Structure 1
Amino acid sequence: MKDVCKGLLLALALIVAPLRAQEYYGDARPDAPELAARGPSPVGVRTLVAEHADQLDILRYSDATPNPRYSRKLTLEVWYPAKLQPGQKEHTVYTDVLGSGPNDPARPNTPFEFNGRAARDAAPLAPAATAPAGGYPLVIVSHGYPGSRLQMSYLTENLASKGYIVVAIDHPESTRADKAGFASTLLNRAQDDLFVLQTVAAWAKPGSGHFLSGLVDADSTALVGYSMGGYGALNTVGAGVSPVAAAYVPGGKLAVNQQGNAQYEARRDPRIKAVVAFAPWGGAHQVWEPAGLAGVRTPTLFVSGDQDDVAGYQDGVLRLFQGAIHADRYLLTYIGGRHNSAPNPPSPAMLVSFDDFQSYAEPVWDSRRINNINQHFVTAFLGIHLKQQPFQSYLDLPPLGADGTIKPDPGLWKGFRPRTALGLAWRHLPAQ
């Protein structure tokens, strides 16, 4: 019977796939909030590689080999405002993989494809002469464990259409294709984020010969991270890990990212002006003490489901939101939502595997609806902090009442049609 059910699901996937042949993740539903709509610029996309030489290979650490080194090869997907040639269309096909690491017969790394509304290798559109600093702000995107640089394409394409350079990272040993020991993810996320910022800033310099030369304002950068990407983003902007967390990595090597470590404190990069943390991991796992969370001074938008059973909510994301006392921060909560508040919707290819489907889907919320709401709030938040756009009224929303309900009617939230903010909660805490 189990094989018959799998066969029926596969047949359904094959039927549904053609019906969705021209579906683009991130397109606005009729009930999408106002700022979810794509911006005015066509979008181009390119795949690049950056190699971070001479890094600690923590997965080969041993007492006999306490400092093994290797080069971390980071595959990057770059979305940008584009100038299309006659007949050139905003269409590409992304290829990702299913599974949760190599050599897992229960969840093999099977390739799957989905459409993107971006023109592959299109010419970049020069920033307007009136653009601040002469370039587009930079957004660096970091996936979960495991994940991929493509798992939030609905958001990366959307931001590029609004005048951002968006760079999403495949973190080595942390993708669905190459998932390996957790110590690598704990250690390397902050280092990878900072290395990509430095690399893109170098590419952006006039005369670099890179296609991004003169296009990027790296002094106005945001980090967007999901799950372990959220952990890494917070760690990058000042949330030094606790002594307990430092012990999670062999040889005490995570001390390089520990609160109170002078080397760690010196790495704080003032070019990072905002953080968006989707379901950031660590709050429920003793990763941060209050002093570590107090190290965050960068404006932060937290996004979570209140039923998140991976990162935790009351003892997880809500704790992080409350503990980042020196940052101006917001928390968007999906009532009834679990951990998948950030990814694209499930692909038809995932219909044959419960585990692969569950790695993208939400049990209560429609993923396309979540995607549109995320686009709206991220557009407002980054517009304020990276572009000085007049979007503050989209974030000055009615708070929760004492009984836990939103007062007045959530339909009055700016940018939402009447009756469409149901199931959402919004909180704001200013920096102390």
Structure 2
Amino acid sequence: MKVAGKVAAKSVLALAVMVPFSASLGAQPVEAAASPPAVPATEYYGDARPDAPELAARGPLRVGVRTQVVEHRDQFDILRASENAPDPRYTRRLTLEIWYPADLAPGQAEHTVYTDVLGSGPGNPARPNTPFSFPGRAARDARPAPPQTPSDRYPLVIVSHGYPGSRLQMSYLTEHLASNGFVVIAIDHAESTRADKAGFASTLLNRPLDDLFVLRTVSAWAQAGSGHFLAGLVDTGRTALVGYSMGGYGALNAVGAGISAAAVAYVPGGRLAIHQQGDPRHETRRDARIKAVVAIAPWGGANGIWDAAGLAGLRTPTLFISGDQDDISGYQDGVLRLFQGAVHADRYLLTYRGARHNTGPNPPSPAAAAAGLEDFMAYAEPVWDSRRINNINQHFISAFLGITLKAQPLQAYLDVPPLPAGGKAGPDSAAWKGFPTRTAVGLELQHLPAQ
């Protein structure tokens, strides 16, 4: 869905200027000062700020990245269905970006350049599809780093963007997870990116189907002898779905949160019934390999997409993330209601106080700042620094997926005490494990166990 927000337009991609320090006071010699820490020549999305929580630090592994296109054949074409053509079929081409632990060749650097587009879909003269580029901390086409043993294969994380968005929308998170020993695959959902945005019915129908198709595809690649570079590298039996906005909608539906009868009526002809709670087609699609969900500002709670029965169908451990001023997905009637209603799932809700909908993506690029208010507001937040949000997301998502996919002893990072009454900072705010003193403010983390 459309996103909103605003931060300072200063480029986060500017090259740092290294200036040697020298000084003198009259004829008096001055003792040389200790050299300051080296400043990186390029700042990448996801780099840890000085106040970043502990698990936002880059992981120990080098990161490679590759791009691959897959084809989901013989799919129902909901945008071209009519009385005269009730069952049109087509092939959905999905571009995937794949991040993975890598062994770098001599002289190879963890640096690439991603290219995306601004705008709100093709043919919009007010917001044309303008290409822009930004640097990434990953080595293009690097050799994969083999796991130490077959049992140490890397868990899989599938990432789904907003509407419209792109597979590169959360590179700060995808690179970070790969550096911590995950294979991460982000999808360009056909008819739902900024480059090819089409009717909303396609997004409603295809998001969960795309997620599950990619899981099946990667499972085939992972098999020994497949010839794919992921063969023997990834363990799809330990998979997580990470979705932002409409990606959150698709992820929740894919793991069992069936939509309501009212939501089925959003698209004529009952074509969304395959995602409805109680429909056998929905029930049989549940894939036990998916062990966790991260739903960032998931859309649909305030729009009648889920009723109580549908939310009760969610049984997968879930981390919800939201701003309490989200004006796209809603908070009290939106994400908070989803969190409270998913009674059969062990779940957490991380809330950014004062934030709107843009709690998922990268910061706005310099190109977005130059393009105008609408493109800038598609990424930015009005009261939060997006880099700060990115670091906090890295921290909590790393803890959550480390626990659910790797059985790592990270539970203390999620067992944080509540903030004092009224949300004011107090002496105990430093008790949030991994947060520097005086920095656990503006946030709330709630937990509800499965019934």
CA distance in 2, matches of 1:29, 1:170: 29
CA distance in 2, matches of 1:303, 1:327: 15
Amino acid at match of 1:366: D
The match for 2:342 is 324
Residues 1:97 and 2:117 aligned together? yes
Amino acid at match of 1:215: L
Deviation at 1:400? 4.9
CA distance in 2, matches of 1:403, 1:338: 20
Amino acid at match of 1:126: P
Q: Taking structure 1 as reference, are residues 247 and 34 closer, same or farther at Cα in structure 2, changes over 3 Å only?
A: same
User: Aligned to 1:167, what secondary structure does the other structure show?
Assistant: strand
The match for 2:84 is 64
Deviation at 1:399? 2.4
Deviation at 1:135? 1.2
Q: Which runs of 4+ in 1 moved over 3 A?
A: 15-21, 400-408
Normalising by structure 2, report the TM-score.
0.91
The match for 2:33 is none
The match for 2:365 is 347
CA distance in 1, matches of 2:335, 2:424: 20
Q: Does structure 2 retain, via aligned residues, the 8 Å contact 1:187–1:249?
A: no
Which of the pair is proportionally richer in helix?
1
The match for 1:219 is 237
Residues 1:159 and 2:173 aligned together? no
User: Aligned to 1:280, what secondary structure does the other structure show?
Assistant: coil
The match for 2:155 is 137
Deviation at 1:408? 6.2
Q: Taking structure 1 as reference, are residues 220 and 407 closer, same or farther at Cα in structure 2, changes over 3 Å only?
A: farther
Q: Does structure 2 retain, via aligned residues, the 8 Å contact 1:275–1:301?
A: yes
Q: Does structure 2 retain, via aligned residues, the 8 Å contact 1:400–1:426?
A: no
Deviation at 1:250? 2.4
Q: Does structure 2 retain, via aligned residues, the 8 Å contact 1:398–1:408?
A: no
Give matches, 1:84-233, under 5 Å.
84-129=104-149, 133-233=151-251
The match for 2:434 is 415
Q: 1:50 aligns with which of 52, 58, 70?
A: 70
Q: 2:394 aligns with which of 375, 388, 402?
A: 375
Amino acid at match of 1:73: R
User: Aligned to 2:55, what secondary structure does the other structure show?
Assistant: helix
1:247-306 C-alpha deviation (Å, 9 max, x unpaired): 112211000000000111011000000000000000000000100000000000000000
Normalising by structure 1, report the TM-score.
0.95
Identity %: 73
1:348-375 C-alpha deviation (Å, 9 max, x unpaired): 0011210010000000000000000000
Deviation at 1:407? 7.0
The match for 1:6 is none
Deviation at 1:406? 6.9
Gaps of 5+ in 2: 1-7, 18-40
The match for 1:266 is 284
CA distance in 1, matches of 2:397, 2:326: 20
Q: Taking structure 1 as reference, are residues 203 and 16 closer, same or farther at Cα in structure 2, changes over 3 Å only?
A: closer
CA distance in 1, matches of 2:289, 2:425: 36
CA distance in 1, matches of 2:98, 2:45: 17
Bigger drift between 237-246 and 15-24 goes to: 15-24
Deviation at 1:16? 7.2
The match for 1:4 is none
Q: Taking structure 1 as reference, are residues 19 and 355 closer, same or farther at Cα in structure 2, changes over 3 Å only?
A: farther
Q: Which has the larger radius of gyration?
A: 2
Q: Does structure 1 retain, via aligned residues, the 8 Å contact 2:156–2:184?
A: yes
Deviation at 1:409? 2.6
CA distance in 2, matches of 1:405, 1:253: 48
The match for 1:364 is 383
User: Aligned to 2:184, what secondary structure does the other structure show?
Assistant: strand
User: Aligned to 1:409, what secondary structure does the other structure show?
Assistant: helix
CA distance in 1, matches of 2:14, 2:55: 29
Amino acid at match of 1:364: V
Give matches, 1:66-85, under 5 Å.
66-85=86-105
